[in-house]
Amino acid sequence: MEDVRVRKIVLDVLKPMEPSILEVARNITALEGVDGVYIDLLEIDKKVENVKIAVRGKNLSYFEINQVIESTGATIHSIDHAYTVREGTPRYEGFD
């Protein structure tokens, strides 16, 4: 599986109010292999925010992303989407 790459992961996450989604996005973006992070607030419930975190990159490590997220006191509820490719294959429209 040397040439298999994880290009996108979308996570459903429960987080405390602090740090803000801006801080979480910045921390994940700082990981090696990450190109960009997109976080949407889905729901606010007293002291908990339910957010969707989308991570894009050349090759993503779920282990490291999870570490960053848990270090902020948040919990991954589920992996909602995964996109993997063989390096060097064509991009498909609407497929990434």
- Residues of this chain that interact with a copy of itself (CB under 8 A) are 1, 4, 6, 9, 20-22, 24-30, 34-41, 44, 54, 56-57, 62, 78-86, 89-90, 92, 95-96
Q: How far is the CB of 12 from a copy of itself (least distance, A)?
A: 8
Q: How far is the CB of 75 from a copy of itself (least distance, A)?
A: 15
**DSSP state letters, the chain:** -TTEEEEEEEEEEEEESSS-HHHHHHHHHTSTTEEEEEEEEEEEETTEEEEEEEEEESS--HHHHHHHHHHTT-EEEEEEEEEEEETTPPPPTT--
Q: How far is the CB of 2 from a copy of itself (least distance, A)?
A: 9
